[in-house]
Structure 1
Amino acid sequence: MIASGFSAPPLPALLLIGFFLYVETHFRIGRLPSRYFRRQPEILFDIPHRVAPGADLPLLLIIKDADRYPVELNDISVDIKQEGKILSTTRLPLGDERVDQPLWWRRFPLIVRGFEGEVTVEPMLTGRCSGRALEVRVDNYPTLSHAPLNCRLDRDQLPGAERWLYGDLHYHSHLTSDQVEFGAPPAAAAAMAAAMGLDFFAVTDHSYDLDDRWDDYLHNDEELAKWKWLQDFVREWNGGGRHPLIIPGEELSAGNSRGGNVHFLLYNEPSFFPGWGDSAEKWLQTKPQWTIRKVLDQLSPQALAFAGHAESAPPRLQRLFLGRDHWRAADYEHPRLDGVQMWNRLRDPAFSRGLAAWQKLLLAGRRPVLIGGNDAHGDFGRWRQISLPFVSLKEKEEHLFGQVRTGIIRPAGTATLPDLLHSLRAGRCLVTSGPSLWLELITETGPPCTPGDTCTGAPRKLHIAADSTPAFGPLARVTLCIGDLQRKKETRRPLPIGPAGSMNLTLDEPARELPGQGYLRLEVSSDREGTPFHCFSNPIYLAWR
């Protein structure tokens, strides 16, 4: 989400951040003008980009920095339309409620039962600010479109939901709040996740934000009140049996083998790791506080560590002034590293490079678990960012919470946080932006093997399934990938997908020509009117001779 603040780091750092991160609408340089400065708090509506069948559509209203610019809220009107036709109109009276907090939010459930397909949602808020009438359509960010929000009211559950628990493993909450960015509170994200049909998500706020004071992001808090708040919130949430489950996490800035700042995703770590090398909090002080090796050496046994957006190369100016880099081959060698986040948003330009790096690690005999996420900063239906500092903003339907999902094999009973963590560590998971899959290897002895398992019996038969829905289009490709550790080669075997337009595939075929030491993994693609969606399993490992 677009951020707002009132103090700043040294000017060069702020300008650098402004180009590449999230906008600060109230900051100005002396008397220089800013096209998007307004004497109002940031006000925005958001909705999930997808709603599961039977769920209400949650309308989220967030108001930030009202402690500087208080507002009175009169009412909200909401039109839901489909192909220009109004499906419903809702009025939500707010009774002239006064808002004067740094961050205020509220969720309004909209009844959408009986509707399905692509819809637009047009919310409008009326009120007063500084004694003047206030009217906000979608958001009050200057230079943006204020166009209706888009949502798909799905008639189907997510593909494969009977086999997999789905979640987002890279999300920033309101605890990531500084001069350039902020997210939505975990409780708001939980409401959105439930509406989308997600079963879990991880809160992974920046290390250099988690150690800040609540009221001043430029000064550290020795008591770590924000980090402790997150631990307490997640413990209470999960302990109360609420849905979805929340994984406590941290996105840590640490030093790679070349001394550059890269990002770690740490899950369920009971101690806080400080890291501000690439935060711009201290201008030109970009030396990492930790190295990758030292972090992994000191990690608690119950914690998981994943390379965050590992192969995403930062822009040149960020490399120069913030000391940022990407993960290098030597950085993956530590045995305590659990896996890699190679997929960081729906259309991630670094994803193909990340897949190649992951494949290389697999062929070297390593077993890093592949996960995915979106790096959303409270963005559920629309992502907003600076286009040109002090001149214009931009918006896209990218980096949205829940677009790229990690699937974990569904346990027999009700899932718990330890279940999720155990399955992630074992690689019993997939990553997807749409379709689903199932890969099972039946052997001469022992139970069937699924992703994350090591097969020690002689292979006999492969059971393969792929599923999609109209939301993600018919199946387009199904590929079995066979890695041979002795030959250091991965062979791709295309599989038949049936008649054109098929949404489901089930295959049973002999397990032929499989290496004694290697792995199997499955890739599935679907296509909805030219838009591709993909799914990748983690491997079944072969060690049968």
Structure 2
Amino acid sequence: MGLLYAEGHYTPLGLSLLKRREPEVLADLPFRTEPAAPVPVVCMIKDAHLYPVRIKLVSVRVTYPSGTVRDHEFGLEEFVSEPLWYRVFHFLPEEPGRLTVDVTILCSRRGREFVVRNDNLRTASHAPFQVLASQYPLPRAEGWHYGDAHFHSSYTWDQAEFGAPLGAAVEVARAMGLSWFAVTDHSYDLDDREDSYLENDPELPRWRGLLDEAEEVDFPVLVGEEISCGSSEGKNIHLLAFGITELVEGKGDSGERWLRTEPDLQLEDALEEVLSQGGVAYAAHPFFRFTLAQRIFLGRGSWPLEDLRREGLSGLQFWNGVRGKEFEEGREAWIELLSEGRKLYVLGGNDAHGDFNRFRCLWVPLLKVRELPFHTFGRVRTVAYCPDGPGPEAVLGALREGTTSVTEGPMVLLRVEGGTWEVEVASSGEFGRLEEVRVIFGEVGKAERTLWRGGGDMNLGAEGPIPGRGYVRAEAETETGALGLTNPVWT
């Protein structure tokens, strides 16, 4: 994927337009919060072990839809000298709607004071954050729990990017209405030394640290891994693995071996390792268009269709933070595979490396940071059916069995029993009325056809007969364009 929370201190040739003689200092907030939820303001300082700094004051200015402006100040006077430091502050919104939030951080280094506005990444906009303090809770159904199935924590840390601390992600997840998330850090980062992203450590301290920390946090965190492995075309592709306890090592596109980009782990071997541990595997962003630089210098590529037919693959994470060309190609490939009789499921995630509010990425290595409004944590949500609660094992079971749906808005639920399908769809004022709901039937070797179509209300329910052997699935789109879709249920 992209190169996120841009690392600005890597200078392989001794030169970088992004480098400062300061640590990276940045703030982040969720893009939305549930009604009446306190808004978490995450402040992070990266690489202070290289550039120690004193943080004195965090000021948060909130502008409400009515024009009201409120200032919140959090005094600290704390000396920071560790590789990654963070604190989370909160304010309670005074009114719902879209808030504009400006965060300024007063720091000093070697006796010189300086002020950071939202971040100090060179070439970034430093623009204020837009936060929707929603007056509508996410649509809910008993036993179904929202999560993000593709997220990178601070254990992803390398020459180009770093993720967010688990503790910060937990606070943001709660505020935005998530009940779980999966941590899928890069395999080529999880085998590194704790103090160096260019040297590996056979003791795997980063991997062990991730396992331990996920156990300690008071929130359901499913530990996974984004494995770099080789496609049938010899390119580096990424595989999401969930529910494993031993690291599957792959570093073909790590950039640790300059100009050596050949895969060191093949897809079939990666799948075998994951399944031998009782894990679950999904193709990560299979149709993502990597930049020319990543294709040349990291040897990355898209998934060939034949690799999506590999035994042991549970499904495709083709909904990766945004609906664009890669989403449409992924959905088309998924439907083609279903028509071949392959029981593959769709998974939703965002590939956020932190990025709670906006996507800040290294667009041109050593030269330019870019900001985009997608690939943000929790924007595309996987809804897992866990009737006894969303513990990691329960979520893993839902991913294994495909008892999940994926949405950026409406909740779409489908049940099949005794030759009858039943669909229930719920939206909210945040996403608008249901524009179109479709129940779709597919048979092996034939094109899909629509069994039922409806729309016009905030909530809809319908049922009908299943015309034969095959599968049933459902999709719903609201008047604001928010989409939700179910996984297929085979009959």
Q: Identify the TM-score tier after normalising by the shorter chain.
A: over 0.9
What code does the residue aligned with 1:539 have?
P
Paired position in structure 2 for 1:47: 29
Separation of aligned partners in 1, 2:3 and 2:108: 33
Is the Cα contact below 8 Å between 1:169 and 1:202 reproduced in 2? yes
Q: Are 2:295 and 1:319 equivalent residues in the alignment?
A: yes
Separation of aligned partners in 2, 1:130 and 1:347: 47
- Of the structure 1 ranges 178-187 and 132-141, higher mean CA displacement relative to structure 2 is found in 132-141
Structure 1 pair 140–507 and aligned structure 2 pair: CA distance change class (3 A):
same
Q: Are 2:313 and 1:361 equivalent residues in the alignment?
A: no
Structure 1 pair 397–294 and aligned structure 2 pair: CA distance change class (3 A):
same
1:236: how far off? 3.1
Is the Cα contact below 8 Å between 1:255 and 1:288 reproduced in 2? yes
1:37: how far off? 3.0
Is the Cα contact below 8 Å between 1:429 and 1:537 reproduced in 2? yes
Identity of aligned residues (%): 39
- Of the structure 1 ranges 372-381 and 296-305, higher mean CA displacement relative to structure 2 is found in 296-305
Deviations 1:122-175 (A, max 9, x none): 121113123111111111223322221111111222123545201011111111
Separation of aligned partners in 2, 1:33 and 1:46: 24
SS at match of 1:204: strand
Separation of aligned partners in 1, 2:365 and 2:244: 37
Structure 1 pair 349–25 and aligned structure 2 pair: CA distance change class (3 A):
same
Q: Are 2:476 and 1:524 equivalent residues in the alignment?
A: yes
SS at match of 2:155: coil
1:396: how far off? 1.9
Is the Cα contact below 8 Å between 1:346 and 1:433 reproduced in 2? no
Separation of aligned partners in 1, 2:488 and 2:61: 46
Task: Show the 5 A alignment for 1:136-285.
Answer: 136-237=116-217, 242-243=218-219, 245-285=220-260
Q: Are 2:458 and 1:503 equivalent residues in the alignment?
A: yes
SS at match of 1:466: strand
Paired position in structure 1 for 2:346: 370
Separation of aligned partners in 1, 2:42 and 2:3: 26
Structure 1 pair 507–307 and aligned structure 2 pair: CA distance change class (3 A):
same
Q: Are 2:9 and 1:26 equivalent residues in the alignment?
A: yes
Q: Are 2:417 and 1:490 equivalent residues in the alignment?
A: no
- Of the structure 1 ranges 255-264 and 309-318, higher mean CA displacement relative to structure 2 is found in 309-318
Separation of aligned partners in 2, 1:31 and 1:271: 37
Deviations 1:447-473 (A, max 9, x none): xxxxxxxxxxxx2x4322221112222
Paired position in structure 2 for 1:86: 68
Could you tell me which runs of 5 or more consecutive residues in structure 1 were left unpaired when the two chains were aligned. 1-16, 444-458
1:482: how far off? 0.8
Paired position in structure 1 for 2:267: 292
Paired position in structure 2 for 1:101: 82
Paired position in structure 1 for 2:431: 472
Is the Cα contact below 8 Å between 1:51 and 1:196 reproduced in 2? yes
- Of the structure 1 ranges 178-187 and 390-399, higher mean CA displacement relative to structure 2 is found in 390-399
Separation of aligned partners in 2, 1:144 and 1:194: 28
What code does the residue aligned with 1:220 have?
N
What code does the residue aligned with 1:247 have?
L
Q: Are 2:131 and 1:116 equivalent residues in the alignment?
A: no
Separation of aligned partners in 1, 2:155 and 2:280: 21
Structure 1 pair 288–53 and aligned structure 2 pair: CA distance change class (3 A):
same
Paired position in structure 2 for 1:441: 416
Is the Cα contact below 8 Å between 2:179 and 2:390 reproduced in 1? no
SS at match of 2:479: strand
Task: Show the 5 A alignment for 1:400-479.
Answer: 400-411=376-387, 413-443=388-418, 459=419, 461-479=420-438
Separation of aligned partners in 2, 1:290 and 1:144: 36
Is the Cα contact below 8 Å between 1:406 and 1:431 reproduced in 2? yes
Separation of aligned partners in 1, 2:405 and 2:268: 27
Separation of aligned partners in 1, 2:248 and 2:411: 36
Q: Are 2:50 and 1:68 equivalent residues in the alignment?
A: yes
Q: Are 2:107 and 1:132 equivalent residues in the alignment?
A: no
- Select the residue among 370, 373, 377 that pairs with 1:394: 370
Deviations 1:505-539 (A, max 9, x none): 1223x315x12x210000011132xxx21111001
Deviations 1:85-120 (A, max 9, x none): 2353211111x21111111001112122x5211111
1:496: how far off? 2.1
Separation of aligned partners in 2, 1:119 and 1:54: 14
Number of equivalent positions? 490
1:332: how far off? 2.4
SS at match of 1:248: strand
Q: Are 2:359 and 1:383 equivalent residues in the alignment?
A: yes
Aligned-pair Cα RMSD in Å: 2.1
What code does the residue aligned with 2:86 have?
W
Could you tell me which runs of 5 or more consecutive residues in structure 2 were left unpaired when the two chains were aligned. none
What code does the residue aligned with 1:330 have?
E
- Select the residue among 527, 531, 536 that pairs with 2:485: 536
Larger Rg: 1
1:31: how far off? 6.9
Structure 1 pair 64–225 and aligned structure 2 pair: CA distance change class (3 A):
same
Structure 1 pair 422–349 and aligned structure 2 pair: CA distance change class (3 A):
same
1:346: how far off? 2.4
